[in-house]
Amino acid sequence: MWPSRKRVFTVPNTKGKEKFVVNNFESKYAGSQTLAGGLTYSDNAVFSAVGISVGPQKIASLAERMGIRTPVSSNYAMTLGGLHEGVTPLDMAHAYETFIEHGRRVGGSLGASNDGPVGIESVTSPGGKVLKQNEKRTKSVLPGNIADQTVQIMTTVISQGTGRRAALGPGQFAAGKTGTTENSGDAWFVGFNDRWTVAVWVGYADKLKPMLTEFAGAPVEGGTFPAQIWHDFMTAADNIVDDRNAKERAKKGLPPKPATEDQTTPVPVTAIPTKPAPVPEGGDSAPPAPQPAAPATGGTGTSPKTTTQTPTQTSTQPSPSGDGTGGTGTSGGTSAPGEG
């Protein structure tokens, strides 16, 4: 168990003059919390303490091994995603893919440099001859049992935590993590089902602007627009693939195949005891806020390009970031400390 309360940490090498102050969303705390519960309910107090105990540099190294290609800070704020330089939704999706791949970072012969994500499946001539075919490559960067347990916990983010608006429906596997920076300047949802790993970032691409009223008068947080966009994209993408598969089978005179037969077997989900925080991050306290339209458009299954009516989501520009802001970094931090 970890303390769930306002935390004040003394920053090393500052002669005690600099403090890292950590607050939970709306200053709500559980008193004490399991590590699993801290992830489910986005408890900053828990993950700042865990991250500092483990060591920010170790976390930064793991994030880079999992697929983050931009520089990762090693200050205390990074334990909650506070980075000097932002990360791209594409890299976030690529890094999160490592979890569902049992701790193996996925690359390929036609992938981006530095073992980046693969955007090309094959290259064909005008006559249809395959000139180049991507060859999948994997590298173990995280013990498989730890990756699998993390996936199990992330299912609770959607089933009972801050990401409930991302739920795909009864019996459908989905796991992910919400993230919100200080003053709702950036909002994230990154997650996967048994087909896709998708990262959604919502914010203003040209500047850091608080989104305090854009969600039907309420703040934009990871569990609001980003979770909705993720849900809509995943639902649409799965429907498109299922429809294509059904048409192909019909041409061959075959009956429709159950959707699960074409999908990767997800990690078995077991019950993980968590202690709920009084009010979770992400605007998910009951009853849910009205859900404004947040259309999801096509994509590649790594980071969809979508827009909302006011803030925008993109998959090409790094998210604005800086000390004291949160995110969905692989350390598990999700929303910013109130000060720091």
Domain of residue 219, CATH code: 3.40.710
The total of structural domains in the chain comes to: 2
Question: Residues 6 or more apart from 244 whose CB is under 8 A from it?
Answer: none
Q: What is the arithmetic mean of pLDDT over 243-260?
A: 85
Whether residues 119 and 83 fall in one domain: no
Q: What is the arithmetic mean of pLDDT over 317-326?
A: 38
Whether residues 222 and 286 fall in one domain: yes
What pLDDT sits at residue 297? 33
Whether residues 285 and 336 fall in one domain: yes
Of 219-228, 289-298, 303-312, which has the strongest mean pLDDT? 219-228
What pLDDT sits at residue 122? 97
Whether residues 227 and 156 fall in one domain: yes
Whether residues 36 and 117 fall in one domain: no
In whole angstroms, what is the distance from residue 247 CA to residue 152 CA?
A: 34
Whether residues 166 and 268 fall in one domain: yes
Q: How does pLDDT run across 262-282, given as a tens digit for each residue?
A: 455 455 555 555 565 544 454
Q: How does pLDDT run across 138-191, given as a tens digit for each residue?
A: 999 999 999 999 999 999 999 999 999 999 989 999 999 999 998 899 999 999
What pLDDT sits at residue 84? 84
Whether residues 218 and 309 fall in one domain: yes
Whether residues 232 and 211 fall in one domain: yes
What pLDDT sits at residue 258? 66
Whether residues 191 and 67 fall in one domain: yes
The confidence band for 62, taking pLDDT boundaries of 50, 70 and 90, is very high
Q: What percent of the chain has pLDDT over 90?
A: 68
Pull the structure tokens for residue 126: 């005008």
Whether residues 127 and 176 fall in one domain: no
In whole angstroms, what is the distance from residue 100 CA to residue 16 CA?
A: 41
Range of the domain at 109: 104-140
The amino acid occupying position 23 is N
Whether residues 57 and 115 fall in one domain: no
